Structure 1
Amino acid sequence: MHKNRLLALIFLVFLLAGYYLIKSPVLPDTVNNGYKWEAFDPDLVPRLRSINDVLKYTDSSCAGQSKQSLDYVRFLSRTFSDRFYHGYSHYSFQDNWIAYLSGKIIWSHLSAIVLPDDILKHPQAACSQVSIVLAEALKRIGVPYRKVGLRNHFVLEAYINNKWYLFDANMEPQFPNGRKSLAELKAAHELYEGYKGKLSPIQADYTFSVIKYGKTNETLAPHASIYHRVTAILSFLLPLFLMVYILFTFIYPGKKLTKAADKRSVGKM
């Protein structure tokens, strides 16, 4: 009993120390983040902290437009492009200490955030994370989407007016002949021009040499999402359980010892 109590106390002290000693990332206050071509707007970071915030912002900017229109979705994608600069966002010790330690000890991707509203607590996001928040926003406004896996890159296609359109909210390419599906852009040899200044022709050839389409409206990163939800709950409950356990064993240590002594006495009689 004393050994278990001591181990619980040591672990609890470790967790408390981590909360105060392991610092959370500092939000940037300049545009000198990510790549030079990024249109990162740091003023959007404190304003858009959830999917609901982004949708309200888009609604106010696209007043009178249908949420299922190409212009609305284009502005939504552009908003995410301006909201983030490129780079993985990870859980801090304070946010989810189990995911944080898993990322440090086991595999860095275990702490890479996949829950949309948690991603929006950070100024940076990788291409997969930007696609996750965009997919969640499209789901809420009723626009079908599908993921498109490439080499070292991740984008989405949205189904609008009975047609698929490519949306790369991470790089936000500018196509001179208008937005189309990835297949149409590739067939028309318009990818190079759209990604000019962001991907060289060699990089574009490599990136789009593999194209894997996902199912319509499928949940992105489903297993990681479950892992992060469960570890978030455990990160809160485990320290609470340890505190209750330690307090209980300190308050009622004699009662258990007395019962054990009574049983030995009865056995001798």
Structure 2
Amino acid sequence: MEVTVSNFPRFNEKLETRVSADNFDPALVKLNSVNMVINFCDSVYGNKNIAANDSGKYANLVSRVIRYRFQHGYTWYHFGHNYIAKLVAPMLNKNLSAIVVPDDILKYPLAACSQQSIVGMKVLMDKGYTVRKVGFYDSTLGGHVCYEVQYGNSWHFYDPNREPDENLLNGNNRPSIDYLNEHPEILVAAYPRDDKNYVLSLYKTYKIQDEGKLPGGNARLFQQLTKFLSYTLWIFLGLLYFYIDKRFFSKKKK
């Protein structure tokens, strides 16, 4: 199933490319909320209701849309979007300004592995799927975040950010990360652009986390609160100003 400009009117062809090998369609940047991504996936699939035997097909479609929706790169809050998070986060933890709210991630064309996984997981959760985070970390190679989706009585691994060979994985029934590590020849073949030793070393470090939880829960609470304050703090400051003016200065004027 093709997810390209042929499915969606072209939107902006002048976006900066951070990774030249990325699969990326600028037209899909117009999908700037989770609901818009869901509506687009439903339209490509052809129905809002997923047939029982199409669970894998729809999950593959979501991964493909996320894959083409983003270029690789971290997206951070800016002053125009959440200025309180931008100001406060460096004093607490600089990573708090790396966006983990799904709808906010979709306001930008760039997203890192964890951010792309958050969007993909949220879309699937809203469609009734059970999902779970799969994290990787090596002290030398660094970290990576992907996710798994449950359907057909088994788990299936998705990595929209590093863009493995979809045809190969789908031809093997979208295996789980457990299965891929048990069959390293499939794992290596799925990442033809990456060094074999890198793939084997990083992907063996996988840790599966709780079902139904998006990554970055604490950071998301911080960002939702600071975003609310970014849009409403001026109201409270205005009310405080009028209260002080009326309470103290009005009497002096008399």
Matched, 1:165 2:156: yes
What does 1:168-247 align with in structure 2 at a 5 Å threshold?
168-174=159-165, 176=168, 177-178=171-172, 179-189=174-184, 190-197=186-193, 199-247=194-242
- What stretches of structure 1 move > 4 A for 4+ residues in a row? 255-259
Structure 2 residue 122 is the aligned partner of structure 1 residue 122: no
Q: Is the 8 A contact 2:133 2:214 kept in 1?
A: no
Give 1:137's aligned amino acid: V
Q: 1:97 to 1:28 in 2, by over 3 A?
A: farther
The alignment partner of 1:156 has SS state of: strand
- In the aligned structure 1, how far is the partner of 2:189 from the partner of 2:148? 19
CA distance in 1, matches of 2:23, 2:249: 66
> In the alignment, which of 44, 54, 57 is matched to residue 37 of structure 2?
54
Give 1:118 shift.
Answer: 0.8
SS in 2 for 1:38: coil
Whether the aligned pair in 1 keeps the contact of 2:136 and 2:144 (CA below 8 Å) is yes
- The number of residues matched between the two structures is 231
1:155 counterpart (146, 153, 159): 146
Residue in structure 2 matched with residue 66 of structure 1 by the alignment: 51
User: How has the CA–CA distance of structure 1 residues 254 and 218 changed in structure 2, closer, same or farther, with 3 Å as cutoff?
Assistant: closer
Amino acid at match of 2:19: Y
Partner of 1:140: 126
- CA 1:31–1:66 in structure 2 vs 1: closer, same or farther (change >3 Å)? farther
Give distance in 1, aligned partners of 2:242 and 2:221: 32
Deviation of 1:257 (Å): 5.2
8 A contact 1:148–1:157 mirrored in 2: yes
Correspondent of 2:76 among 74, 87, 90: 90
Matched with 1:14 is none
Q: Percent of pairs identical after alignment?
A: 32
Larger radius of gyration: 1
Secondary structure at 1:43 match in 2:
helix
Point out where structure 1 has 5 or more consecutive residues left out of the alignment. 1-26, 260-269
